[in-house]
A and B are shown apart, each in its own frame.
Chain A
């Protein structure tokens, strides 16, 4: 594959073949707790996509320009978390002030995202896989969209489940985890589509 197209391959791979939620099982806590309503799931998913795309790019810059020159790669866990937390906080303050519509749609989810492990996960994968800046950005964007796709599919299924008869003891998180497992298996069907290292 030519180099110019590589970021796009990563982008699609992150959505389908290596979905961060369904293949790596990251970002599980908010996935399980928020996936009860389609509308809130969409809001959270969009917020995750936005934050993931931007923080992956930001963390790439911090990693390449600060951590590598000082040989401090091992500090990436702490530094990435600080960057993500500060970014989320800043964005929340800004949109709360300037856009009520955006705040109502995304802002209330932002505090939930600070501790979403999928976002830190995306930044860490970017380092392990040695992505370039562009690839990192598209990887973050794709991972976020993949997460959005998974949580919305889950919310759709759970809305249906509300009227279904679920065995005692499996209600709530129990059945949700089983469904997440099925969805992960279903996504394996995309496997041959794109393969990236």
Chain B
């Protein structure tokens, strides 16, 4: 009895050992691609161990390319321009690329393996992207469906960002997802507040991240984020500013306004905030306070469907109509928009009618 147990265990062990040995040999010979040199933007040079996907190779060199699916080749976000050394397109990349991506030498970096020297181009701003370990400092309700989450940065302890940029929030495995996923949220905190990242998260029915934040996240819990990302940030000019936001689109605009107030900006600023009824309005007092603090700032909330019990005396109607009514012409203005794609498209149209040049309209669309 005992000896048969011994025999079976040793046979299994020997077979596994033999196969494992084969794999180790193969890994060291066939799978060994040696070192490769990656040149980034014709400037930075990295010597890396070849044979792994470009995305994870760059990650181990502390260069974070935004990716939502974690390298499974399903989200198509981790696009990188590979000028040289990429080889042919893989069948797993093609479904994620448009024709113009291919014309621009764009590759899906989680699928493309580094096998030889490469020359790639990535936006400069990605060099400052970091992974942050944080702790939930506070969670509070802003409206019936929007929560404000403040994350205290632990490691590294501070972030350098521009007002209006966003981070990616890592949702761990839970009921709605069997793998970690990442979702982008704008930072509502001022850039001067370097040790905290503040987010405004609206509950989307069955949304993986929003459900997690609204129903599972507790104060004191650990959260991983990475960032900052995005080219939606306050430009350093003297132009007048028109901000338009709806719902949790408040976040980056709040950051921009706080930044202006702290720096004592003298620029004229108007902030149009669209909501359905009074219960969807939030941070009104904070905005009124900013009106006092800043040289020339007005907060203009507008309700599209004010309820009788709201006793609303402010602006009513769609936010686009309100903007059209209150801004006569603004050829010298700069606009910052944040909200749903439908709202942004409508606002761009209105602003163009008012004479705001296309290149001075900046926006952050909720995807």
User: Which A residues are closer than 8 A to B by beta carbons?
Assistant: 40, 43, 62, 66-67, 70-72, 75, 78-79, 82-83, 86, 89-90, 93-94, 97-98, 100, 104, 108
Judge whether B26 and A90 touch: CB under 8 Å.
yes
Instruction: Given A67-B11, A93-B30, output 17 extra A-B contacts at Cβ < 8 Å.
Output: A43-B91, A66-B11, A66-B15, A70-B7, A70-B11, A71-B4, A79-B12, A82-B15, A82-B16, A82-B19, A89-B23, A90-B23, A93-B26, A100-B88, A104-B91, A108-B90, A108-B92
Are the CB atoms of B11 and A75 closer together than 8 Å?
yes
B91 lies within 8 A of A75 (CB): no
Chain B count of residues within 8 A CB distance of the other chain? 20
Instruction: Out of B15, B23, B88, name the residue touching A104 (CB < 8 Å).
Output: B88
**With A72-B7, A90-B23, A108-B90 in contact, is A97–B30 under 8 Å at CB?**
yes
Per-position 1/0 for B1-44, Cβ under 8 A of A? 00010011001100110011011001100110000000000000
B19 and A75: CB pair below 8 A? no
Q: Does the CB pair B31–A93 fall under 8 Å?
A: yes
Task: Return the contact of B12 from the options A40, A78, A100 (Cβ within 8 A).
Answer: A78
Which residues of A have CB within 8 Å of B22? 86, 90
Interchain CB contact under 8 A, B27 and A93: yes
Asked if residues A104 and B8 are in contact (CB atoms below 8 Å), the reply is: no
Please report the C-alpha to C-alpha distance between residue A183 and residue B19 in the assembled complex, in whole angstroms: 39
Distance from A88 Cβ to chain B, minimum over Cβ atoms (Å) = 11
CA distance A43 to B27 in the complex (A): 25
Give A12 to B88 CA distance when docked, in angstroms.
38
Expressed in whole angstroms, the Cα–Cα distance for A79 and B12 within the complex equals 7
Residues in chain B near residue A98, CB distance under 8 A: 30
Beta-carbon contact of A100 and B30 below 8 Å: no
Tell me if B220 is interfacial: C-beta within 8 Å of chain A.
no
CB distance from A21 to the nearest CB of B (A): 23
Asked whether, in the complex, the Cβ of B90 is within 8 Å of the Cβ of A75, the reply is no
B7 partner residues in chain A, CB cutoff 8 A: 70, 72
- Bitwise interface map of B from 99 to 137 toward A, beta carbon under 8 Å scored 1, else 0: 000000000000000000000000000000000000000
The 8 closest A-B CB pairs, nearest first, are A86-B19, A93-B31, A97-B30, A93-B30, A93-B26, A72-B8, A70-B11, A94-B30
Q: Which residues of B have CB within 8 Å of A75?
A: 8, 11-12
A71 to B31, CA, bound (A): 36
Q: Give Cα A180–Cα B30 distance, bound, in whole angstroms.
A: 40
Nearest CB of A to B366, in Å:
28
Query: Which A residues are CB-close (under 8 A) to B12?
Result: 75, 78-79
The distance in angstroms between the C-alpha atoms of A89 and B30, with both chains bound, is: 12
Q: Tell me the bound Cα distance from A67 to B12 in angstroms.
A: 10
- Residue B207 CB within 8 A of the other chain: no
Query: What are 20 A-B contacts with C-beta separation under 8 Å?
Result: A70-B7, A71-B4, A72-B8, A79-B12, A82-B15, A82-B19, A86-B22, A86-B23, A90-B22, A90-B26, A93-B27, A94-B26, A94-B30, A98-B30, A100-B87, A104-B90, A104-B91, A108-B90, A108-B91, A108-B92
Q: Which residues of A contact B19 (CB under 8 A)?
A: 82-83, 86
For B92, list chain A residues within 8 Å (CB).
108
List residues of chain A with CB within 8 A of the CB of B11.
Answer: 66-67, 70, 72, 75
Nearest A residue to B89 via CB reads A104
- Which B residue's beta carbon lies closest to that of A90? B26
- The CA of A97 and the CA of B20, in the complex, are separated in Å by 19
Chain B residues with CB under 8 Å of A79's CB are: 12, 15
B residues near A82, Cβ cutoff 8 Å: 15-16, 19
Beta-carbon contact of B31 and A97 below 8 Å = yes
Task: Report B145-165 CB contacts with A as 1/0, cut-off 8 Å.
Answer: 000000000000000000000
B8: A residues at CB distance < 8 A: 70, 72, 75
CA distance A179 to B297 in the complex (A): 66
A27 CB to nearest chain B CB (Å): 21
- Expressed in whole angstroms, the Cα–Cα distance for A104 and B27 within the complex equals 20
A108 to B4 CA separation, bound complex (whole angstroms): 41
What's the nearest-Cβ distance from chain A to residue B52, in Å? 12
In the docked arrangement, what's the CA distance between A101 and B12, Å? 36
B317 to chain A, nearest CB (A): 39
* CB-defined contacts of B15 to chain A, threshold 8 Å: 62, 66, 79, 82-83
Among B20, B27, B31, B92, find the residue whose CB has the most chain A CB atoms closer than 10 A: B31
What is the CA–CA distance of A108 and B87 in the complex, to the nearest angstrom?
Answer: 16
Shortest distance between the CB of B14 and any CB in chain A (Å)? 9
